[in-house]
Each structure stands twice: as structure tokens, then as C-alpha cells.
């Protein structure tokens, strides 16, 4: 464990920078800081080559070609470009329906809903109580001509993994485009764009031990997936995302992708063992602890737990200052209302308010997992005692 530092169990919000990624980035901050578009001189060409190498690593992570990767500022931009870009380009064909799920990330839900002002029909499908999509519900929705279906690979709150291959079959048969928000997937689950018949896939570096501020969008070439760009500029990234590419960040994303591709499955197996040990330790001491989301169709490091005894998640976190956990999405953490993801699962507000999300990661040690369980059990007992005393 790191002395005098909280135990970090919030890897769905962000991951620490892998030291190997930091080392790969450093020369492009200090030794060669050239603009990768300045190919008239040697330093610019070297920076361009580094960027293209990173592009190949990101592509290899999801079974794509380098020229199918468009770099962005992160998954939020990639999701906006995929959803709005695909709808606006294809809107002239007469298809107006855009489908997503009630448990998607806010940037996906808001992107889909915003298209209503442009004459599109946003369709937000429900999920089952375990967080999984009922394929029959999607199939029925696709009977109306549809531009795009957007489904998250791994839910950022409950860790549930959707059956992307089965969804891809339905979407392709309906003649719609298939977008996957895969921000939480790399290094946690295997993803091959051809196996799932994806047309668009959003990625971000900081959820796979890379730097913040950089992401990517896979855009299928054959048959070609067409998008309208979100903004104008110098025409970089095949005209889809103008702006100077940040070479150090892209090198970092490329290295993070390389490591995720080579070590992700090993990480997942070790992390699952620590998560299960942690969960078992909590369950042995806290009767009535509730796991939210499907028990097995989930990533290795995720636990979304509702605590019994009329406790409040915020109070639990205050009682355990030595832990870094959360109540849900970091992008919605300032909201007072309970998680909309848990509400979509049919979880009552009282239970949702007593829910914490834990995310284990590559650098979580067994000792940290054990200590975290002790701290959380002690915090729960303290909050329950305070609640009973108040009565």
C-alpha cells in the first residue's frame, strides 16, 4: 500500500497513468515538441511518425486499421461526433430514428436527445433489472427505419457488459449504423470491431492507464461509414476532426493501448480475484448487502453495492476518508438525485441513495483490497449506529 495515501477504488472514473506510458510520452514533451503536421522539417516528420505509430496501436487494440482511427479529445467528443455526425450525414436519406439505452453515459443520452431539435426521433430503450438489454425490445424498435443504434460496451456505473455481437447482428439486418461507446472496455474486455459488426467505436485514454484529454473514434472504411464533422478547421483527421494533434498525448494513448492489448486479460483475472475477495469480506460482515447489475455479465473490477440499514452513501464515504470510492458516474457526481442508471434498473430511491461504486484496477494490491474491506465495514457500522442513535 502507498503510505499516507487513500486507497484508490475509483478506476471507472479514471485510472492512474502507467509509468511505462509516462516514459513513452516524456520525449515528446521535451526533446521533440514539434507539430506533427509540420512535415516540411525533420522534427515534424518524426512527430508525425510517432502519431501514426500510436494510431496503429489503438487500431490493433480493437482489430481495426490505422486509417480507421480518428483522434479526438476524449470519449465525450468521440460519442458526439459519432452520433450527431452519423445522424446529420444520413438524415437526407429519410431515416430519422436514433436509438440508445436508458443506462448510457450522459454524453450519449444528451447527444441523442439533442437531435430532436433537428427533426430526428430519439428512442431511449429500457433495460432489464440486471442492466442487460432485452434483444426482443431492440428488434421491435428497429422495425421503424433507423439511422443509428448506440450501445455502451461496459456500463460505467454497474459494470455490466452488453451482448454486442448479438446486438450487431440485429442492427446490421435492419440497415442501421452501430455505434459502441467503449470507453470502459479496453483492458477489461476483448473487443473486435468486425466480430461485433461495429461501424463506430469511441475510446478514451484515461480509462486504460493513459493520459487525460485524448481519445479516438473508430470509423469503418469498408463499406465506408460517413459522418458530418462537428466543427470546421484545417481538415486534419480526414476532415472529421480538425485541430493540431497533441503528439505526447497520442503517444501515451498508443502505449496504453499496446499494454492493454498485451496484458489486459492477465490484469482482468487478477483483478477479479481481488474484487471477489473484497466482496466476500464485506458480505460476511454486512447482511443484506445488495449487488446491482448482472452477477456475471460484468467487468472484473466493478462492484456496485447497496448497503442495508438506512444508511446514506455520502455518509459512508465521509466515515471512510481513507477510501476513494464514488456514488456513480464522475460526470454526474455533483447531482443530488440518485443515479439514473440505478433508476433504470428499477432500484428504489432509498436503496440508490445507499449505493457505492467500487472499481479495482491494475495497481490495486491485495493488501489494499483487504484494508479497504475493513475500512468500509467499519464505516458502515459507524453510520448505522449514528442512524439508530438519531432515532
Exposure string of 227-248, with b = 16+ CB inside 10 Å and e = fewer, is bebeeeeeebbeebbeeebbbb
Angle at the Cα of 379 from the Cα atoms of 382 and 154, rounded to 5 degrees: 145
Calpha distance 97→171 (Å, rounded) = 13
Calpha distance 250→215 (Å, rounded) = 8
Query: Can 324 be counted among the known catalytic residues?
Result: no
Contact between residue 150 and residue 83 where contact means Cβ atoms under 8 Å apart: yes
Calpha distance 48→123 (Å, rounded) = 41
> Phi and psi dihedrals of 88, rounded to 5?
-65, -35
Which listed residue (140, 266, 331, 385) is catalytic?
A: 331
**Would you call 301 helix, strand, or coil by DSSP?**
coil
Q: In three state form, how does the secondary structure of 126-183 look?
A: CCCCCCCCCHHHHHHHCCCCEEEEEEECECCCCCEECCHHHHHHHHHHCCCEEEEECC
Instruction: Say how many C-beta atoms besides its own lie within 10 A of residue 86's C-beta.
Output: 25
Alpha helices in the chain (DSSP H): 19-30, 42-61, 75-90, 106-114, 135-141, 164-173, 247-285, 313-319, 340-344, 349-352, 366-390
Contact between residue 370 and residue 376 where contact means Cβ atoms under 8 Å apart: no
> Phi and psi dihedrals of 185, rounded to 5?
-85, -45
Q: What is the DSSP letter of 286?
A: S
Distance of CA 358 to the CA centre of its chain: 15
Q: Which residues are catalytic?
A: 331
Amino acid at each position: 500500500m502507498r503510505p499516507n495515501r487513500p486507497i484508490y477504488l475509483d478506476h471507472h472514473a479514471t485510472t492512474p497513468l502507467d509509468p511505462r506510458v509516462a516514459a513513452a510520452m516524456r520525449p515528446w514533451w521535451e526533446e521533440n515538441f514539434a507539430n506533427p503536421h509540420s512535415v516540411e522539417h525533420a522534427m515534424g516528420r518524426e512527430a508525425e511518425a510517432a502519431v501514426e505509430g500510436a494510431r496503429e496501436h489503438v487500431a490493433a487494440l480493437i482489430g481495426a486499421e490505422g486509417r480507421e482511427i480518428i483522434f479526438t479529445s476524449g470519449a465525450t467528443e468521440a460519442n458526439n461526433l459519432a452520433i450527431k455526425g452519423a445522424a446529420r450525414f444520413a438524415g437526407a436519406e429519410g431515416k430519422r430514428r436514433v436509438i440508445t439505452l436508458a443506462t448510457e453515459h450522459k454524453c450519449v443520452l444528451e447527444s441523442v436527445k439533442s437531435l430532436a431539435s433537428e427533426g430526428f426521433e430519439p428512442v431511449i430503450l429500457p433495460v432489464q433489472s440486471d442492466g442487460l438489454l432485452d434483444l426482443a425490445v431492440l428488434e421491435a424498435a428497429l422495425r421503424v427505419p433507423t439511422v443509428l443504434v448506440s450501445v455502451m460496451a461496459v456500463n460505467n456505473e454497474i459494470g455490466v457488459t452488453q451482448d454486442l455481437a448479438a446486438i450487431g447482428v440485429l442492427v446490421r439486418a435492419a440497415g442501421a449504423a452501430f455505434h459502441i461507446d467503449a470507453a470502459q472496455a479496453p483492458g477489461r474486455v476483448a473487443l473486435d470491431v468486425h466480430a461485433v459488426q461495429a461501424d463506430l467505436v469511441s475510446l478514451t485514454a484515461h480509462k486504460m492507464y493513459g493520459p487525460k484529454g485524448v481519445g479516438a473514434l473508430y470509423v469503418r472504411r469498408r463499406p465506408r461509414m460517413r459522418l458530418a464533422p462537428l466543427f470546421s478547421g484545417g481538415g486534419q483527421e480526414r476532415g472529421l476532426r480538425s485541430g493540431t494533434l497533441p503528439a505526447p498525448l497520442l503517444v501515451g494513448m498508443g502505449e496504453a493501448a499496446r499494454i492493454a492489448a498485451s496484458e489486459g486479460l492477465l490484469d482482468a483475472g487478477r483483478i477479479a480475484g481481488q474484487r471477489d475477495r473484497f466482496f466476500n469480506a464485506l458480505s460476511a460482515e454486512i447482511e443484506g448487502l445488495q449487488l446491482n447489475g448482472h452477477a456475471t455479465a460484468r467487468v472484473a473490477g466493478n462492484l456496485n453495492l447497496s448497503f442495508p440499514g438506512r444508511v446514506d452513501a455520502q455518509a459512508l464515504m465521509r466515515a471512510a476518508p481513507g477510501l476513494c470510492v464514488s456514488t456513480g458516474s464522475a460526470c454526474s457526481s455533483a447531482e443530488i438525485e440518485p443515479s439514473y442508471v440505478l433508476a433504470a434498473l428499477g432500484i428504489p430511491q432509498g436503496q440508490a441513495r445507499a449505493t457505492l461504486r467500487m472499481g479495482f484496477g491494475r495497481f490495486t494490491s491485495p493488501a489494499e483490497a483487504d484494508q479497504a474491506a475493513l475500512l468500509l465495514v467499519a464505516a458502515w457500522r459507524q453510520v448505522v449506529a449514528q442512524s439508530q442513535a438519531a432515532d
